[in-house]
Structure 1
Amino acid sequence: MNFKDLINGEIAYLDGAMGTMLMAMGFKDGCPELLNVQNPDIIRKIHEQYLDAGAQIIETNTFGGNRIKLREWGLENRLVELNTAGIMLARKTAQRYGALVAASVGPTGKLVQPVGDFSFDEAYETFYEQIKVLSEAGADIILIETMSVLNEARAAILAAKAATDKPVMCSMTFDQTGRTLSGTDVETAAIVLSSLGVDAVGINCSLGPREMIPLVQKMVKVSRVPVFVQPNAGLPTVEGNNVVYPVTPEEYSDSCKLFAQAGASIIGGCCGTTPMHIKKMVQSGLNKVTVEVNKKTTLASAVKSVQIDDKSPLLIIGERINPTGKKELARAIKDGDIFYVVQEGLDQVKAGADVLDINVGVPGIDEARTMVDVVSELQMMVRVPLCIDSSDPEAIEGALRCYQGKALVNSVNGKEDSMNTILPIVKKYGAAVIGLTMDERGIPEKADRRFDIAKRIVDRALSYGIPLEDIFIDCITLTASSNQESVMETIRAIELVKQNLGVKTILGISNVSFGLPERKKLNAAFLAMAIGAGLDAVIINPAIEEYKHIIKAAEVLSGRDEGAERYILAYSKKGKGDSEVITASGTLYESILDGHRAQAVEAVKIELEQREPLEIIDKIIVPALNEVGARYESGEYFLPQLIKSANAVQGAFEIIKERFPSAGKTKGKIVLATVKGDIHDIGKNIVKALLENYGYNVIDLGKDVPPEVILDTVVQNGAGLVGLSALMTTSLKAMEKTVKLIKENTQCKVMVGGAVVTEDYAKSIGADFYGKDAMEAVKIAEKVF
């Protein structure tokens, strides 16, 4: 049996938790992967129990087997040994049952750029090293799991695709809001990960089965590949000396029936699940349902996806980030003034752009480097997807590599060299692509010839494995003033493409009016004609009102706006829609909202010439931070925006402290630590960054910290608040012991948080506060000091 045969049959069954079983067998501390060589019988026995329960795929004990994680235990030099042993143990056991072995690959524990400072390439190399070993040792499947940052999942998938030809599965973990730590929603995750060529995409950990059902339903609707699910057995509690998960095997089995009904193809378990949970699930005889594969064209940023079909609104791609004919923009690009470029993008999104076209082609610059810089900054500032516009393959690949979402590439053409160079890059990074109907002989005058080139591009893209729905064809707009007949040839070419190729069509329209007066009127008329012919996307300046009116009207007349619903909504009342842009201008307040550190630094210098430092802090910085917090709580901002705004405040504070040291006094001392037995600190590090940027003096003790060390630090520094973090259920008892020790010996307030910590648990162990996230930690600090 191979993976393809398994998932094409009935529901496939994964195993359950490894850590839960190790705890039950008395393993509390230390590196789990070390057991692969020190006590292999324990691991073998767990595999056997799951196989006896009916699991068809078992996961190896290699979740933390990457170099970064093993370094926490001083075991990085044993990476090959520990990962190979994990595979061999699982293989020998699985072979007796005819089961498959999935090599478990967990996150690095670092925040990958642009959310954190761990580079994409470092993450890629880390995963490549581990996955290469796992594949060569005999894994049947590479299972990348429990990812909370989209770019880390992308790095792992790209590394896996480069390291092996084995099937790749990838799951992310979501909170109660349906988003990851960095703000990615379920649909966007499914779109981006499946576009990268994984064989299955899924959801695991964090939530119990009931809470996960609506997320699975959403993922199934948009995924192009099978969906798998591995929920926890609920959120844990501590009873006596035991960690207890509330969902029974019978309850778990009932929920799994709903997963199957929702369209999941592979079902297993995560934290708290046992062989009995898996056995009950298998015995329930889950029935697989037929799922309609998503055939819509999709693009995505890290936090928002766009789906396009023949009934969706015309896709508006903002054209303004293109230095051609724009002296100030060209100057900004040449001078490295990234914020000027970003501001242009922000303005276009505010005007209604669904996607931003990014072209930085200025003579005399390093286009590849500049493109990466612009894309890196812009993707943190806007929610809409990006279109990478360049003829330089290095610039295209650099941008796609750093971009967290699913981008559109502008463009490939019918020249052999272009297709052979650009299409493999598009396929590698799971992007969509625009095909220009031109080749070695230039732009054909007649529609039939343009269609021939379009077909050649489509056929070649399909041969590289690029799906039909990821292809846009640009039939090219020529100038009416020099060749009026060419206008109708373009319209006819659009019709031919739409009728015969099954791809999306796209045009830039402004060239049609070149050299003629009242250009906007001509452009608008041509746009209406193109929409009538079947145009799906247009590259325009979205701020031009004439275009907006024409688009709304033409969508009604062409049938894209069924029942004229969008038209009626637009013109029956004027309402303010949801903003997709983070407002930016030169003031300190708005620089903080925007998250632009350099501008905040300049703005605070100006403010210091007019106001006292405390007035700036009380009347500008604090209100701005409060607004940032409110937007985060409402879901308008996500972790990247939160961090950028906090960094902008930090920059402003540094200037204030420089000039007025007395105004830069910290608000209070806070001790942070991940408790004894837990080596995870990604959440704690986010809390630390935010608290520091809010003006608190944070003493970070790191991870795996004994209760006595935490107490001594609190006493020695006179800290008023201590924050304790735990991600592993095995460390909950250590958290309880630490809280008790602090409360018995000091007046210090204690807040606790982490993936396995709940508000009820926080109260039960005597903690003063439950910090559900970084922003809540700030609110708690404000209460204490």
Structure 2
Amino acid sequence: MKVLDYLKNHIVYLDGGTGTLLQKRGLKPGELPERWNVTHPDVITDIHKAYYDAGTNIICTNTFGANSLKFDDHELDTLIGAAIENANRARELSSGKQEKFIALDISSVGKLLKPYGDLDFEDAVGIYAKTVRAGAVKGVDLIYIETMSDSYDTKAALLAAKENCDLPVFVSNAYGEDGKLMTGASPSAMVAMLEGMRADAIGANCSLGPEQLRGVVEEYLEYASVPVLFKPNAGLPRSVDGQTVYDVFPEEFSDIMREYVQAGVRIVGGCCGTTPEYIAATVKKTADLKPVEVKAGNRTLISSYTHAVEFKDSPILIGERINPTGKKRFKEALRNNDIDYILGEGITQQEKGAHVLDVNVGLPEIDEPEMLKKVMFELQSIIDLPLQIDTTDITAMETALRRYNGKAMINSVNGKEEVMKEIFPLVKKYGGLVVCLTLDEDGIPEDAEKRVEIAKKIIKTAAEYGIEKKDLIFDTLAMTVSADPGAALATLKALNIIRNQLGCHTSLGVSNISFGLPNRDIITAAFFTLAMENGLSAAIMNPNSAEMMKSYYSFRALHGIDNNCTDYIENIGRYASAAAADAGAAAPQGSVAADRESGSDLQRAIVKGLKEQAAALTEERLKSEDPLEIVTTQIIPALDIV
């Protein structure tokens, strides 16, 4: 039986802390446990057999740290082969009658990826790929990626697994006491990314005991629509007479694990400190439980490297300013490789309330794939908002999606067969929420009904690629009302039908409606309000516009979305005087001049991560100030904030 078939109707049991038992059997500090597959095969086999005998369904091979940074290619292949042989031998020798599977165990390469470290994303993918290829050909049943503390590292490992084998892939991450990964990702952010990339089961392991990780698991169960796994430590470690012991014992551990299974966790096991006795007690305590059916999730999520954004009742604001269309200064920045200016536009939009940033760097005279990759990387180095990758260049799109840290929005697909054939395979591979334009080979229909028909066609085609409606968001195309008096009505009608009858989310580039008219912000804001009333889920808009933001906060307050009008009260003051706003103006370079109350220009540049600007400002100060004074009065205070 295949492991995914078994999982459909059973609670699945993982093994426990193999490292704990290896230490008891003589593994010395600093000794690489993977070499014991060759030097101590009987010990490894015996440990695996003990877990199988305790009721484990899935044994993880002794390959936790098996990668090409630690071993040369020949030794890596030898150690992985021996590890799988040991696991197979344990399966044959075990007296357990349950279904038994073998997982190729993979964990972090042990180096931080850029921008936190010096390991490039593609280099990490290549390292994981070698391990996957070495194990997949030797007869394992699945890949288990575990104890990952960084979302980008996790994506590299999962991508390597998906590209180098066709086995099921389970993924679990290690969360701290704050409920986040070491580099900041929340459980819902990981759910968004991992489900988007088609992981077969996801969850948490290691770091803490079962009780301390309750909030993490509850968040997984709330957002996930694939099986959730949980493999906690036996509580917290302490040293007694020179030995490491844990403070949660098998009976208490299994009582808590029963609660998790009752709540919907489908795959359970243990990590550090959990011996076969822990697994046996968990199997016994849950033997009478029927597995909770995995719910078919209908939550539309995107994510950055820190958090998820859900498309629900409150409209999502997508900042439009990182786009060269109609922006002379932005075009100059692209031509001159002025990344700080581009980052400044992103920072300003984040400060003004954008939830997502649209990123479009398309100019005929530049290398768009390379520039998009660079801009996206730099934005994700200092801004934690999810990004909307906006390009018609399919090479640029794949380059960006492959390296994006999270689950991105994808702008866009449409009803043309050729375009759907290009975009949907990328969505299936890398994940994403794809913007669907209601146009096809015949152009943009004038009436709403034909736009809805195109939407239905896109939904049907997406389903053929395994892409659900929750990962489609429809743009019914706002056309300029000055050229066609009925343009707004057709757009709004189609939007209403798609949102309320087809049950899909909607998006609009709302400023298009006012093209060619004076005082554009006034009519654009009115149209924005009408669109929200008709079910608009997201708007590509200018968060610098006072009129747009007044409409947004007022709509949320009037629709009961803003509890006690808190957001309205906190934010509306800065938009109260329309005369004080210049909605069309670009942000000052680096956005430093816009907020002097937070400190000097240099301090703000450091806090916001504007490297080039910080260097230039430092050089300027060195002409008249002592270096030590700059360090003590400018740099250190800024780093304290960071």
Please report the TM-score for the alignment, with normalisation by the length of structure 2. 0.92
Matches within 5 A, 1:213-232: 213-232=214-233
CA distance in 1, matches of 2:32, 2:553: 60
Residue 69 of structure 1: aligned partner: 70
Q: 1:260 — aligned with what?
A: 261
Counterpart in the other structure of 1:91: 88
Are 1:298 and 2:295 counterparts? no
- 2:597 corresponds in structure 1 to none
Correspondence for 1:140: 141
Structure 2: where are the runs of 5+ without partners?
575-589, 594-599
The Cα of 1:293 is off from its aligned counterpart by 4.1
CA contact (8 A) 1:583 1:590 kept: no
- What secondary structure does 2:411 align onto? strand
- Closer, same or farther in 2 for the Cα pair 1:595/1:517, shift >3 Å? closer
By relative contact order (CA 8 Å, sep 6+), the higher-ranking structure is 2
State the shift of 1:38 in Å: 2.1
Task: Return 313-322 or 112-121, whichever deviates more.
Answer: 112-121
Change in Cα spacing, 1:282 to 1:584, as seen in structure 2 (3 Å) is farther
Contact 1:531-1:555 at 8 Å conserved across structures: no
Tell whether the 8 Å contact from 1:69 to 1:109 is kept in structure 2 after alignment.
Answer: no
Give yes or no for the alignment of 1:597 onto 2:611.
yes
Please show how residues 38-49 of structure 1 align to structure 2 within 5 Å: 38-49=39-50
| Corresponding residue number in structure 2 for 1:110 | 111
**Correspondence 1:289 to 2:305:** no
Tell me, yes or no, if the aligned pair for 2:301 and 2:309 is still in contact at 8 Å: yes
Q: Is the 8 A contact 1:447 1:493 kept in 2?
A: yes
Give the deviation of 1:522 after TM superposition.
Answer: 1.4
Tell me the equivalent position of 1:710: none
CA distance in structure 2 between the partners assigned to 1:555 and 1:146 by the alignment? 40
2:625 aligns with one of 607, 611, 627: 611
Q: Equivalents in 2 of 1:513, 1:627: separation in Å?
A: 42
Specify the alignment match of 1:625 in structure 2.
Answer: 639
C-alpha separation in 1, matches of 2:189 and 2:591 = 24
1:188-203 to structure 2, matched below 5 A, reads 188-203=189-204
The size of the alignment, in residue pairs, is 614
CA–CA distance in 2 between the matches of 1:213 and 1:163? 34
Residue 479 of structure 1 deviates from its aligned partner by 1.2
Query: For each residue in 1:650-687, what CA deviation from the matched residue of structure 2 results, as whole angstroms up to 9, or x when unmatched?
Result: xxxxxxxxxxxxxxxxxxxxxxxxxxxxxxxxxxxxxx
The residue aligned with 1:14 is 14
1:578-631: CA deviations, max 9, x gaps? xxxx97458221122122332222111111222222222221122222222xxx
| Structure 1 gaps, min length 5 | 577-581, 629-785
Task: Tell me the SS of whatever aligns to 2:70.
Answer: helix
Write the mapping of 1:151-162 to structure 2, written as runs, cut at 5 A: 151-162=152-163
Distance in structure 1 (CA, Å) of the matches to 2:592 and 2:221? 37
Shift of 1:552: 3.1
CA distance in 1, matches of 2:606, 2:344: 14
Q: Matches of 1:575 and 1:483 in 2, distance apart?
A: 36
CA distance in 2, matches of 1:123, 1:621: 33
CA contact (8 A) 1:221 1:294 kept: no
- CA displacement at 1:234 relative to structure 2: 2.1
1:292 offset after TM fit, Å?
Answer: 3.8
What is the rounded CA distance, in whole Å, between the counterparts of 1:505 and 1:191 in structure 2?
19
In structure 2, what is the equivalent of residue 342 of structure 1?
343
Aligned in 2, Cα 1:539/1:352: closer, same or farther, shift over 3 Å?
same
Structure 1 counterpart of 2:235, one-letter code: G
In structure 2, do the counterparts of structure 1 residues 223 and 52 end up closer, same or farther at CA, with 3 Å as the change threshold?
A: same
- Deviation, 1:239, is 2.3
Counterpart contact for 2:225–2:294, Cα < 8 Å: no
What SS is found at the alignment partner of 1:102? strand
CA contact (8 A) 2:480 2:513 kept: yes
Do the aligned residues in 2 keep the contact of 1:91 with 1:138 (CA within 8 Å)?
no
Q: In structure 2, give the amino acid aligned to 1:78.
A: E
After superposition, give the CA deviation of every residue in 1:89-142 in whole Å (9 maximum; x if it has no partner): 212332564301111011101111232211111111111111122111111110
Once residues 503 and 572 of structure 2 are traced to their aligned partners in structure 1, the CA distance between those partners, rounded to angstroms, is: 36
What is residue 569 of structure 2 aligned with on the other side? 571
Q: By how many angstroms is 1:371 displaced?
A: 0.3
Distance 1:141 1:584, change over 3 A: farther
Q: How does 1:41-440 map to 2 (within 5 A)?
A: 41-70=42-71, 75-95=72-92, 97=96, 98-285=99-286, 287=289, 288-290=291-293, 292-309=295-312, 312-440=313-441
Q: Give the match for residue 578 of structure 2.
A: none
Q: CA deviation at 1:321?
A: 0.8
Give the drift of 1:574: 6.6
Contact persistence 1:14–1:55 (CA under 8 A) = yes
Q: What's the C-alpha RMSD, in Å, of the aligned pairs? A: 1.9
Offset of residue 572 of structure 1: 8.1
SS at match of 2:301: strand
| Conservation of the 8 A alpha-carbon contact between 1:175 and 1:206 | yes
Q: 1:369 to 1:497 in 2, by over 3 A?
A: same
SS across alignment from 1:260: helix
Partner Cα distance (2:637, 2:422) in 1 = 51
Per the alignment, residue 453 of structure 2 pairs with: 452
Work out the CA distance in 1 between the residues paired with 2:222 and 2:109: 30
Q: Secondary structure at the match of 2:431?
A: coil
Cα distance in structure 1, aligned partners of 2:79 and 2:85: 10
Q: Which whole-Å CA distance do the structure 2 matches of 1:451 and 1:477 have between them?
A: 14
Contact (CA 8 Å) 1:451, 1:493: kept in 2 or not?
yes
Q: Distance in 1 between matches of 2:81 and 2:557?
A: 61
What is the CA–CA distance in structure 1 between the aligned matches of 2:515 and 2:245, rounded to whole Å? 71
Alignment check: 8 A CA contact 2:174 2:181 kept: yes
Deviation at 1:184, TM superposition (A): 1.1
Matched, 1:34 2:35: yes
Deviations 1:255-289 (A, max 9, x none): 21232233211110111110011111111126333
User: For 1:608 and 1:591, how far apart are their aligned partners in 2?
Assistant: 16
Question: Which residue of the partner structure matches residue 475 of structure 1?
Answer: 476
Query: Deviation of residue 358 (structure 1)?
Result: 0.4
Which residue pairs with 1:24 in the alignment? Answer: 24
Offset at 1:573? 8.4
Change (3 A) 1:21 1:535: same
CA distance in 1, matches of 2:211, 2:490: 56
Instruction: Provide the C-alpha distance between the structure 1 equivalents of 2:375 and 2:564, rounded to a whole number of angstroms.
Output: 33
- The alpha-carbon deviation at position 551 of structure 1 amounts to 2.4
